[in-house]
Structure 1
Amino acid sequence: MPIRPQFRWFYPIDWRELSIVIRFERAKGRCEHCARPHGRIVLCLGDGRWWDAERSSWRDGQGRLLRHGLELISLAEVRSTRVYLATAHLDHDPANNGPRNLKALCQRCHLLHDRDEHRRQRWLTLRMRKALGDLFLGPYKFG
């Protein structure tokens, strides 16, 4: 995920190189939470389970191999997605770039990790829109 221009100054100059080291040298091109491989298209279910083609097995959302319980999957439930790795700050502080604070996560795991921040940002965006609507257009109507 690209860094927003207003937050660019929080990151070190060599962020791109640091991110590459974390994602491809340390994590070997796999999500450090669920083990999805970078750049590959994987089949997945809505609850986080995904098909690991290398092992010819299903894995759960934490990357553990599943041995049973998938006999009744309909093809309508299965979707495919391309996996992209990003380097995430575990404490959400972009100035803290220590190796223990950085983790290579796929887009699903990264979104789950940042869920509270996304919720807060969504709330703030809606309130700002409402304030602008009240300021320029009178009472703002949702919908």
Structure 2
Amino acid sequence: MSMPIRPEHRWLYPIDWPEISNIVRFMRAGGRCEHCRRPHGRYVTFLAGADGVWWDVEIHAWRDGRGRRLRYAPDVVPLEAIRMTRKPVYLATAHLNHDPTYSGPRWRNLAALCQRCHMIHDAAEHRRRRWWNAFRMRALGDLFSGRYS
């Protein structure tokens, strides 16, 4: 499963995008997020409120939000307050410079990212686009609705 591409943006991607995405996610990254090491297609246990701390079943240890193994168990609060969630992890191929028309030499501009890392990476771009869309809608409203009537 890969990230859906909006129909209006489809023409920006190369025709062989599904193959490129599979190579980046599964051959180069080995089926793990390149930022936090979460495995694709598996359910992962997260420690709620611990900034991305998750349990890696393969090494039987906690990892932080950057994929580094924790030396010590995370600080634990009383059992009543501990909240752990299990969620599936899906990798998507992300453009590191937010430009889908450029993949760079040997796909250096591409990274296999899980949902969390992808959202963190794209947060500033999402804020910029939200601002631009709101600005555009206000400008159209001023133009046609008659703020200046």
**TM tier, smaller:** 0.7 to 0.9
TM-score (norm 2): 0.82
Asked if 1 retains the 8 angstrom alpha-carbon contact of 2:91 and 2:112, the reply is yes
| Structure 2: runs of 5 or more not aligned | none
After superposition, give the CA deviation of every residue in 1:53-78 in whole Å (9 maximum; x if it has no partner).
11111000110000214251546432
| Structure 1: runs of 5 or more not aligned | none
Aligned counterparts of 1:126 and 1:76: Cα–Cα separation in 2: 39
Structure 1 residues 66-75 or 29-38, which shifts more?
66-75
After superposition, give the CA deviation of every residue in 1:90-109 in whole Å (9 maximum; x if it has no partner).
11111112321111010111
RMSD (Å), alpha carbons: 2.0
Aligned counterparts of 1:129 and 1:93: Cα–Cα separation in 2: 24
Query: Number of residues paired by the alignment?
Result: 138
Cα offset, 1:24, TM superposition: 0.4
Residue number in structure 1 paired with 2:63:
59
Which of 1, 7, 10 is the equivalent residue of 1:8?
10
Matches within 5 A, 1:98-137: 98=104, 99-128=107-136, 130=138
Residue number in structure 2 paired with 1:95:
101
What percent of counterpart residues are identical?
Answer: 59
TM-score (norm 1): 0.85
Cα offset, 1:131, TM superposition: 5.5
